[in-house]
């Protein structure tokens, strides 16, 4: 279970960085404010995952500084592409994160109600962020970008599980 929670923690580090990069390069105040609000909500997820790792007598990924730097750069690039593309990136990211969380929920050991509660709430919040992006005018990302995002996430998940 600790490896799965380490992945979730690293994902929240990435979310913080993505939203910070996107907020830094947003063209409109409304988009910047939406990114900041989402980042603020992700802080709770980060804290919950970190607490759960401690409860499981484990630790965060030592690669988190790398994940943060890379994710900030990706977020900044998404923001530079324009607010609607940046919002599309949020929408697609959160869609993929929801699927990831659903997979983790299915893999939880029976009786791990604490992890279940954390992941359930995170999944609800991620869906809300995707809906916010959609309502704000998110563009649909081209399939090759969606695939590249999924591939990059799979590398991060594989490494964060162990390291």
| Per-residue pLDDT at 26 | 84
| Per-residue pLDDT at 104 | 83
Band (pLDDT 50/70/90 cuts) for residue 161 is confident
Number of structural domains the chain divides into: 1
| Per-residue pLDDT at 144 | 94
| Per-residue pLDDT at 16 | 86
| Per-residue pLDDT at 143 | 94
Query: CA 7, 8, 12, 15: dihedral to nearest 10 degrees?
Result: 80
Condensed to tens digits (0 to 9), the pLDDT of residues 79-121 reads: 898 888 988 988 898 888 888 888 888 888 888 888 888 888 8
Residue 89 in tokens: 């990136």
What does pLDDT average to over the chain?
Answer: 87
C-beta separation of 161 from 6 below 8 A: yes
Cα dihedral across residues 47, 19, 89, 153: positive or negative: negative
Condensed to tens digits (0 to 9), the pLDDT of residues 38-64 reads: 778 788 888 888 888 898 889 999 999
Task: Report d(CA 58, CA 83) in Å as an integer.
Answer: 38
Classify the phi-psi angles of 81: left when phi > 0, otherwise alpha if psi is within -120 to 50, otherwise beta.
alpha
Q: What is the CATH number of the domain that holds 152?
A: 1.20.1260.10
C-beta separation of 127 from 64 below 8 A: no
| Per-residue pLDDT at 60 | 92
Residue 69's domain comprises 2-162
| Per-residue pLDDT at 65 | 94
| Per-residue pLDDT at 68 | 92
Q: Is the pLDDT of residue 69 over 90?
A: yes
């Amino acid at each position: 279970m600790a490896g799965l929670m380490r992945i979730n923690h690293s994902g929240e580090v990435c979310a913080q960085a993505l939203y910070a990069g996107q907020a830094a390069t947003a063209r409109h105040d409304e988009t910047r404010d939406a990114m900041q609000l989402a980042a603020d909500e992700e802080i709770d997820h980060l804290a919950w995952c970190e607490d759960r790792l401690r409860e499981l007598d484990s630790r965060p990924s030592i690669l988190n500084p790398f994940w943060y730097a890379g994710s900030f750069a990706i977020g900044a690039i998404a923001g530079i592409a324009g607010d609607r593309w940046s919002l599309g990136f949020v929408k697609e990211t959160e869609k993929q994160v929801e699927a990831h969380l659903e997979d983790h929920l299915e893999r939880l050991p029976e009786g791990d109600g604490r992890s279940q509660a954390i992941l359930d709430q995170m999944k609800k919040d991620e869906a809300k962020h995707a809906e916010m992006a959609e309502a704000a005018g998110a563009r649909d990302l081209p399939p090759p970008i969606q695939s590249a995002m999924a591939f990059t996430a799979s590398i991060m998940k594989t490494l964060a599980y162990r390291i």
